[in-house]
């Protein structure tokens, strides 16, 4: 406490009154600590409750989303999306991913010229694979998984 913060009109007469005031200060500080500890315990309890509720709701949500998407896949196997009154069901077909295993083995007609060298042109290689089904030497082609999503307009929630 600074000199300016000390209230000069409160005056204690003797050591007995000072000791009494110190006990009061200790009790008030204990009360403050009690309030802080009680609040922390309540916050921890509320967080545990919220996590348990979120887990329960997410399990139910997962089951309902899965049911809806099974219906979508069965009824609309070739559609990218289906808009309904309460939301939209979406499918994103996996894309082709070209991985260079050995650039020296890739035929030069499937490479692009970069300063002082050649590097495999993954777009040409994927186009070749789509046309012929052939995986060129030195390359590997994989398709990422198709993903599905239920959109109900709730941004930031999954």
What pLDDT is recorded for position 40? 97
The pairing of strands 81-84 and 147-151 is: unpaired
pLDDT per position as a tens digit, 111-154: 887 888 888 888 999 999 889 989 889 889 998 999 999 999 88
Task: Report the share of the chain in percent with pLDDT over 90.
Answer: 61
Domain residue ranges in the chain: 14-75, 78-158
Tell me the C-alpha distance between 102 and 121, whole Å: 13
Q: Which helix (H) or strand (E) is 90 found in, with range?
A: strand 87-92
What pLDDT is recorded for position 11? 76
How is residue 9 written in tokens?
Answer: 């009109």
- Do the beta carbons of residue 103 and residue 138 sit within 8 Å? yes
How is residue 146 written in tokens?
Answer: 């198709």
Tell me the C-alpha distance between 42 and 48, whole Å: 10
- Statement: residue 156 has pLDDT above 80: no
* 38 vs 158: which has the higher pLDDT: 38
- Statement: residue 7 has pLDDT above 70: no
How is residue 137 written in tokens?
Answer: 């030497």
- Smallest CA-to-CA distance from 91 within 144, 147, 154, 145 is with 147
Q: Name the pLDDT band for 92 (thresholds 50, 70, 90).
A: very high
Tell me the C-alpha distance between 120 and 140, whole Å: 12
- Indicate the SS3 state at residue 17: helix
Its pTM surpasses 0.85:
no
Tell me the C-alpha distance between 24 and 28, whole Å: 6
Considering only 29-43, 60-74, 80-94, 112-126, which range has the smallest mean pLDDT? Answer: 112-126
Tell me the C-alpha distance between 116 and 62, whole Å: 53
Tell me the C-alpha distance between 51 and 64, whole Å: 20
Looking at the chain, how many residues does it have?
158
- Statement: residue 41 has pLDDT above 70: yes
């Amino acid at each position: 406490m600074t000199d300016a913060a000390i209230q000069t009109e409160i005056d204690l007469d003797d050591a007995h009154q000072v000791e009494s005031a110190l006990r009061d200060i200790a009790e008030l500080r204990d009360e403050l600590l009690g309030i802080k500890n009680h609040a922390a315990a309540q916050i921890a309890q509320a967080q545990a409750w919220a996590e348990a509720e979120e887990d329960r709701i997410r399990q139910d949500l997962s089951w309902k989303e899965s049911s809806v998407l099974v219906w979508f896949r069965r009824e609309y196997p070739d559609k990218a999306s289906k808009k309904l009154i309460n939301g939209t069901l979406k499918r994103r077909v996996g894309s082709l991913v070209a991985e260079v295993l050995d650039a020296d083995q890739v035929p030069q007609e499937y490479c692009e010229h970069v300063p002082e060298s050649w590097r495999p042109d993954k777009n040409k290689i994927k186009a070749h694979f789509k046309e012929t089904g052939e995986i060129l030497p030195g390359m590997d082609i994989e398709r990422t998984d198709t993903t599905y999503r239920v959109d109900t307009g709730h941004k930031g929630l999954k």
